[in-house]
Amino acid sequence: MNNLITRNLGLNVSGNRLKQLEEEDIDALMDDENLSLAVKSNLAVMRCVEERIKIIERVVKKRTKLRREYEQLLTVNGIGEILALTISLETGDINRFADAGNYSSYCRCVQAERISNKKKKGQGNSKNGNKYLAWAFVEAAAFAIRHNESARRFYQRKSAKTNKVVARKALSNKLAKACYYIMRDQVPFDNERLFTT
């Protein structure tokens, strides 16, 4: 929808604004009835998919036996119900990891390379670990950037030195390590402790 509006009207409409559009708004915005129909069709599909996602989430939450770590994970800025569920179920028993670094590596939040004498001597298997946890922590980092001022500042500092992808991955690594301690010790998230400079 954004692509259609941008190409034909030269306007950049945010995702939140697109979700709020009604059919009358689209008719007022678009002069061409064919383009208006295309945007309305996309809006209808988007709303249908969102409704189906809500139904699936309700069924999954009802049928899933929640682990005790679930409630503590909900205290992390950027982790909602589905991400907390994914992280707790995909992690399993947190005590199988010796430390936070091992857990972060399992979550694919760190690069797998071997260095000797400050020179790269090889690269490990980047497919090792859990791809679902990798996804969950990158998603959590994206939400944390939007909703947590400390996370946003950390991300901006990192992205100024490297690039946005590396900065987001660094934040996901930080969140993975924090979640390790949250699940191991059954304590709530402490923003000050994670982002002290």
Query: What are the domain boundaries of the chain?
Result: 2-63, 69-194
Task: Round to whole Å and give the CA distance between 156 and 158.
Answer: 5
- Determine the distance from the C-alpha atom of residue 165 to the mean position of all C-alpha atoms in its chain, rounded to a whole number: 13
pLDDT in tens, 116-166: 777 766 666 566 788 999 999 999 999 999 999 999 999 999 999 988 999
E strand or H helix that includes residue 91:
helix 81-91
Residues 180-195: tens digit of each pLDDT: 999 999 999 988 888 8
Measured CA distances, 132 to 104, 127, 137, 174 (Å): 13, 12, 9, 17
Average per-residue pLDDT in the chain?
A: 87
Q: What three-state secondary structure class fits 123?
A: strand
Task: List, as one string, the DSSP characters of 137-192.
Answer: HHHHHHHHHHH-HHHHHHHHHHHHHS-HHHHHHHHHHHHHHHHHHHHHHT----HH
Of 129, 81, 68, 78, give the one whose Cα is nearest residue 103.
129
pLDDT score at 79? 92
